[in-house]
Amino acid sequence: ADEPLVLGIETSCDETGIGIVRGHTLLADALASSVDQHARFGGVVPEVASRAHLEAIVPTMQRALDDAKVTLADIDAIAVTSGPGLAGALLVGVAAAKGYALAADKPIYGVNHLAAHVAVDTLEHGPLPEPAVAMLVSGGHSSLLLVDDLTNGVTPLGATIDDAAGEAFDKVARLLGLGFPGGPVIDRTAKEGNPRSIAFPRGLTAPKDLAAHRFDFSFSGLKTAVARWVEARERDGEPVPLADVSASFQEAVCDVLTAKAIEACRTNGVSTLVIGGGVAANSRLRVLAEERAAKHGIEVRVPRPSLCTDNGAMVAALGSRLVAAGVAPSRLDLPADSAMPL
Ligand code: KG4
Ligand code: ZN
């Protein structure tokens, strides 16, 4: 018999995503983004995101079904991000999932957004070798997770104690006048710069910090250091070397992320590292992770960039694993939980 056909709905932040998978095979990944509507604010505005989801959800659903050449009746289960994320944004996806589930008499699975970021890798590289370590780096999260069994949740090893990695990219891009979102533009700008030209701080890597924060991150000190460095240049009437600042900042972030991720693998006897979240699209992060992992026989799995950022396919991918594992569906009164734990 065919493997189950699972539809996934993602609305936790500024992307309305609806994906359809069969087993590990991606059939459709329809996306509508409100990112342009937030650009002039320099960050995601929750009310604007919620309204955009409301407008986009039905047409995006239609596009996903058309792309996969299926109808709602063909779907075996509907998965939806029920947290963590922006409360009003999550609510649109959860309400839509319930509506479709009720209308078409389908089981519904509320899933964790972070676990979905890990699960999406299976669409690209097949079943995940477990245990694995996952590093999720996005605009909202920077976490190291231990994955013993994806269908049974994930265990946090560490997380940022202040700004998320993507947030640091966005804030630094803003103070450099490079625009929003910051990650892609810093990535591009850094290509022309020297990553060793400015020694920016590596947060929580000093021996005294490692004792309590071995697998935690801190990026707000780095952001402040970049701001001070730029201010000093401007005070001296010197031009700001955007490429060198971008490259040196990016190097500081990627150095800490990859060092701690590899250490987490070694400490836990794990030989697979999955990287997900929007920052996983960073070109330097990918190269440095590969380089350092290779020295310890660790395999790095990074899905293609379009699957790293928020999308519906990741939710469908996790839903597909849950259905395959025989996990019971959620109740139809499933709440949206903006602060959902792992
Ligand atoms: O996973 P995502 O789409 O949304 C959530 O935050 O959940 O991640 C968006 C974040 C933004 O902060 C963006 O600046 C960052 O990912 N990002 C990047 C790159 N592409 C996106 N950061 C660094 N380098 C990139 N190439
Ligand atoms: Zn995300």
Quote the ligand 1 centre to 13 CA distance (angstroms): 12
Give yes or no for residue 314 CB within 6 A of ligand 1: no
The pLDDT value recorded for residue 1 is 59
pLDDT in 10s for each residue of the chain, 342 residues: 589 999 999 999 999 999 999 999 999 999 999 988 888 887 788 999 999 999 999 999 999 999 999 999 999 999 999 999 999 999 999 999 999 999 999 999 999 999 999 999 999 999 999 999 999 999 888 999 999 999 998 999 999 999 999 999 999 999 999 988 899 999 999 999 999 999 999 999 999 999 999 999 999 999 999 999 999 999 999 999 999 999 999 999 999 999 999 999 999 999 999 999 999 999 999 999 999 999 999 999 999 999 999 999 999 999 999 999 999 999 999 999 998 887
Give yes or no for residue 309 CB within 6 A of ligand 1: yes
The pLDDT value recorded for residue 38 is 85
Give yes or no for residue 282 CB within 6 A of ligand 1: yes
Give, using CA atoms, the residue closest to atom 23 of ligand 1: 183
Give yes or no for residue 250 CB within 6 A of ligand 1: no
The pLDDT value recorded for residue 33 is 92
The pLDDT value recorded for residue 341 is 80
Residues with Cβ within 8 Å of 110's Cβ and at least 6 positions away in sequence, in order, are 79, 80, 81, 82, 83, 94, 330, 334
Give, using CA atoms, the residue closest to atom 22 of ligand 1: 183
Quote the ligand 1 centre to 300 CA distance (angstroms): 19
Give yes or no for residue 14 CB within 6 A of ligand 1: no
The residue behind tokens 């604010």 is: 41
**Which ipTM value was assigned to this complex?**
0.98
Residues with Cβ within 8 Å of 84's Cβ and at least 6 positions away in sequence, in order, are 12, 112, 113, 114, 140, 337, 338, 339, 340
The pLDDT value recorded for residue 84 is 93
Token pair of 191, please?
Answer: 């290509």
Residues with Cβ within 8 Å of 99's Cβ and at least 6 positions away in sequence, in order, are none
d(Cα 258, Cα 264) in Å, to the nearest integer? 10
Give, using CA atoms, the residue closest to atom 3 of ligand 1: 309
Residue type, 165: A
Residues annotated in the binding site for Fe cation, as ranges? 113, 117, 310
Token pair of 180, please?
Answer: 């929003």
- The CA-based angle 107-128-121, given to 5 degrees, is 75
Set out the domains of the chain in order of their start, with CATH numbers.
5-119+311-324 (3.30.420.40), 129-303 (3.30.420.40)
The pLDDT value recorded for residue 41 is 82
Instruction: Point out the ligand 1 atom lying closest to the alpha carbon of residue 305.
Output: 20
Helix, strand or coil for residue 192? coil
The pLDDT value recorded for residue 43 is 77
- The CA-based angle 321-332-18, given to 5 degrees, is 50
Give yes or no for residue 182 CB within 6 A of ligand 1: yes
Give yes or no for residue 254 CB within 6 A of ligand 1: no
The pLDDT value recorded for residue 221 is 97
Ligand 1, residues 86, 118, 121, 138: which to mutate, most atoms within 8 A of Cβ?
138
How remote is the C-alpha of 239 from its chain's centroid?
Answer: 34
Give, using CA atoms, the residue closest to atom 19 of ligand 1: 183
